[in-house]
Amino acid sequence: MKGQGPLETVGLGVYGNKDFGWEGTTTWAAAQGPTGRAAVLDKVVELYRSGVLQPPVVQAFPLGRWRDAFETLSTPHRGRKVVLDCQVEDGVEA
Question: What does the pLDDT look like over 17-69, one tens digit per residue?
Answer: 544 555 656 677 677 788 887 888 888 889 889 988 887 788 899 999 999 99
- Give residue 2's pLDDT band: very low, low, confident or very high (50, 70, 90): very low
The pLDDT of residue 7 is above 80:
no
This model's pTM is above 0.75:
no
Task: Summarize the chain as % helix, strand, coil (round to 5).
Answer: 45, 20, 35
Which residues face 90 on adjacent strands? none
The residues near 87 (Cβ < 8 Å, ≥ 6 apart) are 93, 94
Each as own residue / partner, the long-range contacts of residues 3-7 (CB below 8 Å, 24 or more positions apart, any chain) are: 4/43, 5/39, 5/43, 6/32, 6/36, 6/39, 6/40, 6/43, 7/40, 7/43
Question: Is pLDDT larger for residue 84 or for residue 36?
Answer: 84
Distance separating alpha carbons of residues 40 and 47, to the nearest angstrom: 11
